[in-house]
């Protein structure tokens, strides 16, 4: 695990940045950035959507795609960004067992960022929400 100061603000793309509140190891799987440690994991994927559906249409798509067992669903626009979140409970019967996950979809006019937080330990939901709330979008960036 590479040491870095905590909290640490990192640029995910020229437009998107997040502040990490824990130490993480990172790796890329295809175009998905994976950050992980013993208590929490993040799958991060950014999409360019210029010329595609508008923010409200994408929010409706994400809401409709939530699994039937999703809980704590939120949807709203904050600071010009559309945000959809929900929690999928742990599946202890799966092989291997699946931890609970916080799904987050954040929409700007030209891009969207999906982060799935895998909640592997007690207290990880609060840490995940803190990181998600730190998410920042800069209009002047670009892909």
Q: What is the pTM of this model?
A: 0.90
> Is residue 62 classed exposed, middle or buried when 0-12, 13-18 and 19+ CB atoms within 10 A define those classes?
buried
Integer angstrom CA distances of residue 59 from 7, 127, 129: 29, 24, 19
> Which pLDDT belongs to residue 7?
83
Cβ neighbours of residue 6 closer than 8 Å, sequence gap 6 or more: 20, 21, 22, 23
Do residues 22 and 127 touch, judged by C-beta distance below 8 A? yes
Write down the pLDDT at residue 4.
62
Q: So what's the pLDDT on residue 47?
A: 92
Task: Give me the torsion for CA of 106, 132, 43, 76, rounded to 10°.
Answer: -30
Q: Which two tokens stand for residue 57?
A: 């249409």
| CB 133, CB 106: distance < 8 Å | no
Where exactly are the structural domains of the chain? 8-137
pLDDT of residue 95: 86
- CATH number for the region 8-137 comes to 3.40.1000.10
pLDDT score at 3: 61
Q: Digits of tens for pLDDT over the chain (143 positions)?
A: 456 667 889 899 999 999 999 999 999 998 899 999 999 999 999 999 888 899 999 999 999 999 999 999 999 998 899 999 999 999 988 888 899 999 999 999 999 999 999 999 988 999 999 999 999 998 765 44
């Amino acid at each position: 695990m590479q040491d870095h100061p905590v909290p640490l603000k990192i640029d995910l793309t020229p437009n998107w940045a997040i502040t990490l509140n824990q130490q993480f190891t990172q790796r890329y799987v295809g175009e998905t950035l994976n950050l992980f440690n013993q208590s929490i994991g993040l799958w991060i994927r950014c999409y360019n959507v210029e010329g595609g559906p508008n923010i409200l249409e994408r929010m409706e798509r994400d809401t409709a795609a939530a699994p039937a067992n999703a809980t704590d669903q939120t949807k709203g626009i904050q600071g010009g960004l559309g945000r959809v979140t929900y929690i999928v409970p742990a599946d202890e019967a799966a092989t291997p067992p699946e931890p609970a996950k916080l799904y987050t979809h954040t929409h700007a006019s030209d891009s969207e960022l999906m982060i799935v937080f895998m909640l592997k330990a007690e207290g990880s939901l609060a840490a995940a929400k803190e990181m998600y709330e730190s998410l920042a979008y800069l209009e002047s960036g670009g892909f």
